[in-house]
Amino acid sequence: MKIQFSTKLLCLFILAYALNLNAQSYVGNTVDNYAGIQSLISNPSNVFDSRFKADINLLSVSAFGGSDYFGISVSDIINSDEGFDFETDAEKFPTDANHFFVNADILGPSFMFNLSPKSSVGFVTRVRTLMNINNINGELFENFSEDFDSDEDFNFNQENLSGTIHAWAEIGLVYGRQIVNTEKHFLKAGATLKYLQGAGSIYINSPNLTGNYDAANETLTTTGQLIYGTSEDFDNDDINFENLTQGFGADIGFTYEFRPTTTDSLTRKHNKYKFKIGASITDIGSVNYKDASVTTYNMNATVDASTLEDEEDIEAFLENNYTGTESIVNQKIKLPTAFHLLVDYHLAGKLYVSLQGNMSLVKDNSMFANSIINSATLSPRLETKWFSLYSPVSMRQYGDFAWGAGMRLGPLMVGSGSIISNLISESTKTTDIYLGLKIPLYQ
């Protein structure tokens, strides 16, 4: 399996928008009591006391991406007669510290089933690709992406630039168990142990980089230091899932339910709670790449910026214009460790409302690591055995508001955490979509 990449590292935001990618997975769907396998991604304790005898995932895909640098109007794209040009038609919001992010998550063949009255197990396969570029100067980015084809001078001061692209596969074994079950109180716990197979990584870091561009002479003068690295045998033009390296990871979670009206007539096929609280930490761990290349460049130089359009990628531009010191090291790439908190309230009948928070436990400027973007999502839903309808409303990091819709119809699920806001907004900064097909075996 291969994933193709454009190799101007900082221009990967184009890939995010071109593929409609956006940084949580399956927004709105995972809180459904019938989400099954998908719910294990945010909290492994959901494997126990589910509404299924067994749940078998065939294939599910979730993609999430965006930037606080670009704002686009979906209606302008739809109504454009001559095609939408991101460079000229998109609204731009350059700052001293812009961010770009992509999260693509593919759930392969996976299953979960009840092992005993007090325990359940699951088996999950995933392929994931994450990209984070943090604290990049927006004006520098714009000129770099346009090969410095500008008639105006500009200065920049950039601090704590970091960027990591990482692609990996994982196989997870999930175990969940009842901890407490009294008349009104119920507590369960779960954990996922993951065997990771890393496909490759690119990373860039600069604690401080200042400079100026002279338009008349087409020269770029910079001062500072920049670190650029790749995993062993990493091909800038594609990430190959054939030569893999190993790592280990884990998720852990708990769910408490308050059950004021539990009776003997309510069985596993029924929701019994008035409200429940779930808490989890996901993606603990890392992938270790042996013989990774890390080059530290001395950026104290004046270079001919017009040569950028002739360079194949940023690595070639750095090698041809700056002095670098290369080291071969064993490099760990950390997973996007995150904390998740869910409060779900049963309104009446088949109506529920949930509030979910997702918070990265990885600092923005961390080198050799990916992170999710922080978000808070309020999601009302209609939930039945064969059909669920939900409409999540989110506030996402970097000030973006998202309003989406999704549905589950038996074995099919489809939705987006931002489709409504994308359609009505004149300048949306994030977008996401997901769909999946499974075989649910209900209680």
Q: Which residues of 305-443 form beta strands (DSSP E)?
A: 323-334, 338-348, 351-360, 375-383, 387-390, 393-396, 400-403, 405-409, 412-416, 430-442
**For 220-255, how does the pLDDT look when each residue is reduced to its tens digit (9 = 90+)?**
999 999 999 988 876 655 666 677 899 999 999 999
CA-based radius of gyration for the chain: 23
Give the pair of three-digit tokens for residue 260. Answer: 């004021």
What DSSP string describes 272-284? Answer: --SEEEEEEEEEE
Residue 88 backbone phi and psi in degrees, to 5: -105, -30
How much is the pLDDT for 74?
66
Tokens of 36: 């099954």
- What is the spatial distance between Cα 371 and Cα 361, in angstroms, rounded to a whole number? 8
- Over residues 56-103, the pLDDT tens digits come to 999 999 998 888 888 776 666 666 666 556 566 677 888 888 988 889
Phi, psi of 172 (to 5 degrees): -120, 135
Residue partners of 226: CB distance under 8 A and separation at least 6: 161, 204, 205, 206, 209, 296, 297, 299, 318, 322
Q: Are strands 405-409 and 238-240 parallel, antiparallel or unpaired?
A: unpaired
Give the Cα-Cα-Cα angle 410, 408, 387 (nearest 5 degrees): 65
> pLDDT tens digits for 247-292?
999 999 999 999 998 666 667 788 999 999 999 999 999 999 998 9
What distance in Å separates the CA atoms of residue 135 and residue 159, rounded to the nearest whole number? 7
pLDDT reading at 12 higher than 50: no
Percent of the chain having pLDDT more than 90?
A: 56
Rounded Cα distance between 410 and 387, Å, is 6
Task: Look at 75 and 18; give whichever has higher pLDDT.
Answer: 75
Handedness of CA 215, 220, 224, 226 (dihedral sign): positive
Question: At 320, which helix (H) or strand (E)?
Answer: helix 314-321
Which residue's entry shows tokens 């930037």?
67
Which tens digits make up the pLDDT trace of 335-359? 999 999 999 999 999 999 999 999 9
Token look-up 């990885």 returns 362
Helix, strand, coil share of the chain (percent; to 5): 15, 55, 30
Instruction: Kindly give the pairing relationship between strand 301-304 and strand 110-116.
Output: unpaired
- Say how many residues make up the chain: 443
Which domains are assigned to the chain?
A: 2-442 (2.40.160)
